[in-house]
Amino acid sequence: MASLSLLIAAAALVVVAASTAATAAAPSWAPPSSPRPLFREYIGAEGQNVTFADVPVHPGVDFHFILSFAIDYAAADAANASAAPPVPTDGRFAVFWDEAHLTPAAVSALKCPSSSSSPNTRVALSLGGDTVFGYNATFRASSVDAWVDNAVASLTAIITRYGIDGVDIDYEHFGERETPEVFAECVGRLVRALKSAGVISVASIAPFANPDVQAHYGELWRRYGRDFDYVNFQFYAYPSNTTVPEFLGYYYEQSGRYAGAGGGGKVLVSFGTDPASNGLRPGKGFFRACRELRRQGRLHGIFVWAADNSVADGFRYERLAQRFLAGAAPGFP
């Protein structure tokens, strides 16, 4: 496992060196010497019948779809899921994304060598989320060992069936017994096991600015930060009156928090197209802030919540964001 982490860290350093060199030597865009700038998007949580093919993928970026969500809960009453609170299943994950449209066949079509989005597209799944059947998707574990055993088994089956490349951790609520230490051991051991078995090659966390959330992810980062590649920090959970200077301040604060621990500290910036999202929006200075971070060499990538909401306006801001990241690279097909 240690050697795998080192490989990933080493690859990340090469990225920075390569992009700096490319910028210095040739202001115009160089051919797709991977890795390209990173763009990630959540998909499948909101029942909008959105498909992978609906979403524009720019050939000049590395594009990660993040299937939302796999959750370790089950309906108490299978015949009427909203009749009673769902029950936690102690790490036995089930698929809760739009399975009718985001199928194993759709994932394999996306990655097929003749597909226009191949080879710059990868697919991850996200664990947890805010709610399940309208109730909090609270993190619950009877014990670390039981949760990890169940999670490794159930997720390996889902990941293999779908041909998925990575996991994202997005629990947003925690039980009283599920302390930061318990959460860190459960999730850290899960991700380490999946990576060392070669089941996944990429992992991220998705915290936001809330004391309980930061306490849990902070402990995970302190113990297992080196096992994670990216931090999908939910900047759209900040107030909707966030200004560009405030946004930059939040970015510096969170980059400091998720540095160290041997982790790359790769905090990605984000905006939401969900009406419930807040933060700094694309029409209100988000790209001005990105330009400043890029000038400083600190723009590691952009992610969006969520494709389900963006389908209505034809993915206007996803197009903008990918064009922004790709620079002079040849555009959308």
Ligand X SMILES: *[C@@H]1O[C@H](CO)[C@@H](O)[C@H](O)[C@H]1NC(C)=O
Q: Which residues pair with 73 in a beta bridge?
A: 88
Strands 135-136 and 121-129: unpaired
**Choices 37-45, 76-84, 119-127, 161-169; region in contact with ligand X by CB under 6 A:** 76-84
Angle CA 206–125–213, to nearest 5: 20
DSSP assignment letter at 327: T
**x-or-dash string of contact with ligand X, 181-220, rule CB under 6 A:** ----------------------------------------
Q: Check if the beta carbon of residue 6 is closer than 8 Å to that of residue 266.
A: no
**x-or-dash string of contact with ligand X, 107-136, rule CB under 6 A:** -----------------------------x
Q: Is 239 in the site for ligand X (CB under 6 A)?
A: yes
Closest CA to 236 of 120, 320, 130: 130
- Residue 122 to residue 201: CA distance in whole angstroms: 10
Cβ proximity to ligand X: between 80 and 118 the closer is: 80
* Residue 49 vs residues 111, 253, 296: alpha-carbon distances, Å: 20, 37, 39
Cβ proximity to ligand X: between 136 and 196 the closer is: 136
**Choices 4-12, 77-85, 143-151, 316-324; region in contact with ligand X by CB under 6 A:** 77-85
Q: Which residues touch 215 (CB under 8 Å, ≥6 apart)?
A: 180
Q: Which of 20, 23, 34, 80 binds ligand X (CB under 6 A)?
A: 80
**Choices 7-15, 80-88, 199-207, 313-321; region in contact with ligand X by CB under 6 A:** 80-88
Q: Which of 20, 34, 241, 296 binds ligand X (CB under 6 A)?
A: 241
Q: Is 58 in the site for ligand X (CB under 6 A)?
A: no
- Residue 200 to residue 164: CA distance in whole angstroms: 7
Gyration radius of the chain over CA positions? 19
Q: Is 48 in the site for ligand X (CB under 6 A)?
A: yes
DSSP assignment letter at 262: T
Residues in the chain: 333
Structure tokens at 213: 């959330």
Q: Which of 172, 178, 185, 318 is catalytic?
A: 172
Write down the least CB distance from residue 312 to ligand X, Å.
9
Known active-site residue 41 = no
**Choices 37-45, 78-86, 160-168, 224-232; region in contact with ligand X by CB under 6 A:** 78-86
Q: Which of 20, 23, 34, 49 binds ligand X (CB under 6 A)?
A: 49
Cβ proximity to ligand X: between 63 and 233 the closer is: 233
* Residue 80 vs residues 77, 83, 108, 133, 149: alpha-carbon distances, Å: 5, 5, 33, 10, 29
Binding site for ligand X (CB under 6 A): 48-49, 80, 82-83, 136, 173, 239, 241
Active site residues: 172
